[in-house]
A and B are shown apart, each in its own frame.
Chain A
Amino acid sequence: GENVEQHPSTLSVQEGDSAVIKCTYSDSASNYFPWYKQELGKRPQLIIDIRSNVGEKKDQRIAVTLNKTAKHFSLHITETQPEDSAVYFCAASIGYNQGGKLIFGQGTELSVKP
Chain B
Amino acid sequence: QQQVKQSPQSLIVQKGGISIINCAYENTAFDYFPWYQQFPGKGPALLIAIRPDVSEKKEGRFTISFNKSAKQFSLHIMDSQPGDSATYFCAARDYGQNFVFGPGTRLSVLP
Q: Do A and B come from one complex?
A: no
B residues within 8 Å of A by Cβ?
none
A residues within 8 Å of B by Cβ?
none
